[in-house]
């Protein structure tokens, strides 16, 4: 395997100096919805504890923490030094590393998570390499779960925030809808790739996975939570509206047409 290029400095700078990923899944109702639903979906597919889980691109350890509390042996890999330091308090072992070239041995983990890397890898070849690495280190038949940001998430999000009327935001959303790419140097986020459900399945297939199930993590009503919190200044965590959005996400699971309305997609395959 060739050595991948260094992680984009824009990504390192964004998570080191601009954005605190440690609070993303706890500070807002749509963030908590993402966390609750990700937990539900992963617990459905993971082997029993104390299985060994590799959390690739695990950030500051938001998922590693609850997995460790569930009794799993979790090793977290992330390219951002700040995240690795934060994750040391999550009950897992940690390593500074790159999803495209893992140090783990072949067939060494009972499950592999890629809940962040795919949307930070703008080039298809890099995404396929990350998926192939996850498949390599997973034991045969074990689950590999990969998250992606929906192609349509930015349209819903920036309608909720009302930023869609801003020219630079409108142009960025237009480009994402057209080809899934958020180019380097644009404000608000790093360079990123936004998937359709079909595109996510195709990439896993190209990386060697035979069968993939795709779920809409937050369901079709997450943007209602974001809009209401944004414009009222009131937290909706635990509110009746939050519970309704969670119920909607669960109800939407059997209906693939509703995948396009979610903010994040979760693909689960077997190595």
How do residues 1-33 score in pLDDT, each as one tens digit? Answer: 678 889 999 999 999 999 999 999 999 999 999
pTM value surpassing 0.85: yes
For the chain, the domains span 9-270
pLDDT of the residue at 255: 97
Helix (H, G, I), strand (E, B) or coil at 146: strand
What is the DSSP-derived secondary structure letter of residue 152?
T
Inter-residue contact 143 to 269 (CB < 8 Å): yes
Residue 94 backbone dihedrals phi, psi, to 5 degrees: -135, 160
Q: How far is CA 212 from CA 20, 39, 123, 205, in A?
A: 32, 18, 21, 8
How do residues 243-269 score in pLDDT, each as one tens digit? Answer: 999 999 999 999 999 999 999 999 999
First to last CA, the chain: 19
Architecture of domain 9-270: 3-Layer(aba) Sandwich (3.40)
Q: What is the dihedral of CA 164, 190, 149, 48, to 10 degrees?
A: -150
- H or E stretch including 267? strand 264-270
Q: Are strands 181-182 and 192-193 parallel, antiparallel or unpaired?
A: antiparallel
How do residues 128-160 score in pLDDT, each as one tens digit? Answer: 999 999 999 999 999 999 999 999 999 999 999
Instruction: Say if residue 203 is preceded by a cis peptide, omega within 30 of 0.
Output: no
């Amino acid at each position: 395997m060739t050595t991948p290029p260094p992680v984009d400095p824009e990504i390192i700078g964004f998570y080191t100096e601009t954005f605190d990923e440690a609070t993303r899944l706890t500070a807002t109702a749509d963030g908590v919805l993402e966390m609750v639903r990700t937990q539900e979906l992963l617990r459905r597919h993971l082997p029993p504890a104390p299985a060994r889980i590799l959390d690739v691109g695990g950030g500051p350890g938001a998922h590693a923490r609850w997995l460790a509390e569930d009794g799993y042996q979790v090793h977290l890999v992330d390219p951002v030094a700040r995240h690795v330091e934060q994750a040391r308090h999550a009950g897992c072992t940690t390593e500074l590393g790159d999803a495209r070239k893992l140090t783990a041995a072949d067939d060494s983990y009972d499950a592999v998570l890629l809940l962040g890397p795919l949307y930070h890898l703008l080039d298809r070849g890099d995404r396929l390499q990350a998926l192939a690495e996850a498949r390599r280190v997973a034991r045969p038949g074990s689950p590999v779960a990969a998250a992606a940001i929906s192609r349509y998430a930015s349209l819903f999000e920036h309608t909720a925030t009302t930023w869609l009327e801003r020219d630079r935001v409108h142009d960025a959303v237009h480009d994402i809808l057209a080809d899934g790419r958020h180019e380097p140097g644009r404000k608000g986020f790093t360079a990123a790739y936004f998937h359709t459900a079909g595109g996510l399945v195709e990439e896993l297939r190209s990386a060697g996975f035979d069968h993939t199930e795709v779920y809409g993590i937050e369901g079709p009503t997450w943007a209602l939570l974001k809009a209401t919190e944004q414009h009222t200044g009131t937290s909706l965590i635990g509110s009746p509206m939050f519970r309704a959005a969670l119920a909607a996400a669960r109800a939407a699971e059997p209906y693939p047409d509703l995948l396009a309305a979610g903010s994040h997609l979760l693909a689960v395959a077997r190595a």
